[in-house]
Amino acid sequence: MKEGYTLFAELVKKDGILIVKKNVDNELTLTNKRLIYSLNLDTEYCADSIRIENAQFKYNVKSSVEPIDNVVNGLPGLHNIENAIAAICIVQQIGLKGEQIKAALRSFTGVKRRFDYRVNTSTHIYIDDYAHHPEELKACIQSVRKLYPTKQLTGIFQPHLFSRTRDFADAFAQALDELDVCYLLDIYPAREKPIEGITSTWLAAKMKVAKGVVLSKQEVLMQIAQQTPELLITMGAGDIDTLVTPLEECIKKKT
């Protein structure tokens, strides 16, 4: 991996700029002209005064070209602020100015199944996300928590691959424990054959805080229809997307 990063960095032309996240090149010692960014580590590019206003993340950007105040992302989450800082670093090198950048970031709503608001009313919120790795789950759930700290959070998660579920089971359980209510679908096999003992029930047993309940897709729909949670997220990379529209329609009937 280190060799791959180094070879990539060496492709930058002499008059070009390598944009690097803080702490990535500590061991690589990349020698190209570079700009360093981070979320909030006092680098050349970083965020300052991160706050939440009206269920949106707002922040200021420190920049060696032009500082920008009161930036609002169309996508929530600290990880998306960090991504936006890298993007700002890029576009400032080609001449874009503060107001252009702010307008672009505010209007960018991302791609399908990445913190995708399916319902967003005063009574019900439903977000769908492609998260299928523990760190992605953690980032998604924590972002929702920060935006809506007073609401009970219900999550539906479909594990993807038997091997990934086995290898990261403890991390999955820890991330899902941050939910108030967790419904687990059966593991989506994708290209794999089942591994003995590795099931969603096995994963649910590892959860400590939230009570993981394993349900079929039809049972999940029935459960949501009966309870209609005020804050719901669906997460996974398998065929959980086939539930998105039915869930959306179910929740909209109650709003």
Question: Mean pLDDT across the stretch 57-83?
Answer: 91
pTM here? 0.75
Indicate the domain borders of the chain: 2-107, 116-254
Question: Mean pLDDT across the stretch 219-231?
Answer: 94
Sequential DSSP letters for 224-243: HHHH--SEEEEEESSSGGGG
Contact between residue 211 and residue 182 where contact means Cβ atoms under 8 Å apart: yes
**pLDDT tens-digit readout, 154-201:** 999 999 999 999 999 999 999 999 999 999 999 999 999 999 999 999
Contact between residue 172 and residue 199 where contact means Cβ atoms under 8 Å apart: no
pLDDT, greater one: 5 or 113: 5
Contact between residue 188 and residue 157 where contact means Cβ atoms under 8 Å apart: no
- The closest of 46, 40, 100, 102 to 73, measured between CA atoms, is 102
H or E segment at 105? helix 98-107
**pLDDT tens-digit readout, 6-18:** 888 888 888 888 8
Please check the confidence at residue 221 and state whether its pLDDT lies above 90.
Answer: yes
Question: Mean pLDDT across the stretch 71-91?
Answer: 90
Please check the confidence at residue 204 and state whether its pLDDT lies above 80.
Answer: yes
Tokens of 214: 């394993």
Please check the confidence at residue 65 and state whether its pLDDT lies above 80.
Answer: yes
Question: Mean pLDDT across the stretch 125-141?
Answer: 93
Please check the confidence at residue 224 and state whether its pLDDT lies above 80.
Answer: yes
End-to-end Cα distance, the chain: 49
Contact between residue 157 and residue 137 where contact means Cβ atoms under 8 Å apart: yes
Q: Does 116-254 carry CATH code 3.60.21.10? A: no
pLDDT grade for 219, boundaries at 50, 70 and 90: very high
Per-residue pLDDT, 210? 67
Contact between residue 233 and residue 144 where contact means Cβ atoms under 8 Å apart: yes
- The closest of 130, 133, 156 to 231, measured between CA atoms, is 156
Per-residue pLDDT, 202? 96
The chain-wide mean pLDDT, for the chain, equals 91
Class of domain 2-107: alpha beta
- The sign of the torsion formed by the CA atoms of 203, 218, 120, 211 equals negative
Contact between residue 178 and residue 148 where contact means Cβ atoms under 8 Å apart: no
What is the maximum span of the chain, computed from C-alpha positions, in angstroms? 62
Question: Mean pLDDT across the stretch 108-118?
Answer: 81
% of the chain beyond a pLDDT of 70: 99
**3-state SS class at 207:** coil
